[in-house]
């Protein structure tokens, strides 16, 4: 019998939100969200990573500087490698499908380079969210600590969902890591991992209507000794 729990419903419901209403999010709500994120487990309980939560003028200032860097064609200064190089064909296919779903929802044609570029630039505006979080980690942390931070990030996304809000991770923020460093006056030791947009989803926005697919169970699991 099928008994979907609140948890599985929440997992099924969560998706990346790329358009928001102008409703603000209270500091207390964000404190609850960040506290829930920190409940994530981590190797030796090191609890790696920091969340720099911005709204109002500080967010506006960061967005202005990111957009200026983007418009000036400033070189990308990502401080860590995110994707495999080279990207294997099957993963490239997943990346393309997610991109096509996004651009299709927005009615942006495959060959509309300017349209795609304009949508990509929305990353640097945190997709119009009232709250932008810059996620950082100490540069000396190993790969395992990035995994720990990933768990904290997932916990944060679920805590956002639990508050009836929406969010998306924004790796693109790390494209201009030094801009974020300067804007937030981050210690040099902190590496910029990504951004997260948080706010009330604009349910009427076309960009929020599509859902991404996932690989079937067989593609990423193996079970032994069960028969």
Ligand X SMILES: Cc1cc2nc3c(=O)[nH]c(=O)nc-3n(C[C@H](O)[C@H](O)[C@H](O)COP(=O)(O)O)c2cc1C
Q: Which residues bind ligand X (CB under 6 A)?
A: 15-16, 18, 98, 123, 168-172, 194, 212
Nearest distance in Å: CB 226, ligand X: 29
Residue nearest to ligand X (CB): 169
| Residue with Cβ nearer ligand X (155 or 168) | 168
| Residue with Cβ nearer ligand X (3 or 214) | 214
Under 8 Å between Cβ of 105 and 210: yes
Nearest distance in Å: CB 25, ligand X: 19
Q: Burial, 8: exposed, middle or buried (Cβ in 10 Å; 0-12, 13-18, 19+)?
A: exposed
Nearest distance in Å: CB 11, ligand X: 10
Q: Work out the number of other CB atoms within 10 angstroms of the CB of residue 173.
A: 26
SS3 label, residue 86? coil
| Residue with Cβ nearer ligand X (164 or 225) | 164
| Residue with Cβ nearer ligand X (26 or 76) | 76
Cα separation values, 115 from 19, 70, 103, 216, Å: 16, 15, 9, 32
Partners of 54 in the β-ladder = 132
Nearest distance in Å: CB 95, ligand X: 9
């Amino acid at each position: 019998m099928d008994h979907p729990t609140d948890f599985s419903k929440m997992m099924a419901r969560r998706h990346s939100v790329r358009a928001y209403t102008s409703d603000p999010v209270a500091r207390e709500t964000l404190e609850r969200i960040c506290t829930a994120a920190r409940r994530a487990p981590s190797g030796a309980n090191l609890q790696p990573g920091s969340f720099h939560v911005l709204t109002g003028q500080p967010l506006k200032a960061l967005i202005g500087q990111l957009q200026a860097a983007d418009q000036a064609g400033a070189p990308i200064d990502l401080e860590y490698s995110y994707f495999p190089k080279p990207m294997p064909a099957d993963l490239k296919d997943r990346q393309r499908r997610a991109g096509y779903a996004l651009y299709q929802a927005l009615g942006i044609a495959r060959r509309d380079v300017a349209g795609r570029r304009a949508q990509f630039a929305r990353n640097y505006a945190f997709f119009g969210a009232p709250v932008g979080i810059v996620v950082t980690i100490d540069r000396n942390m190993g790969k395992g600590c990035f995994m720990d931070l990933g768990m904290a990030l997932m916990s944060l996304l679920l805590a956002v969902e639990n508050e009836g809000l929406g969010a998306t991770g924004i790796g693109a923020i790390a494209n201009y890591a030094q801009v974020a460093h300067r804007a937030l006056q981050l210690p040099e030791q902190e590496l910029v991992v990504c951004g997260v947009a948080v706010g009330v989803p604009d349910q009427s926005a076309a960009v929020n209507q599509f859902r991404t697919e996932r690989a079937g169970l067989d593609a990423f699991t193996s079970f032994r000794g069960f028969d």
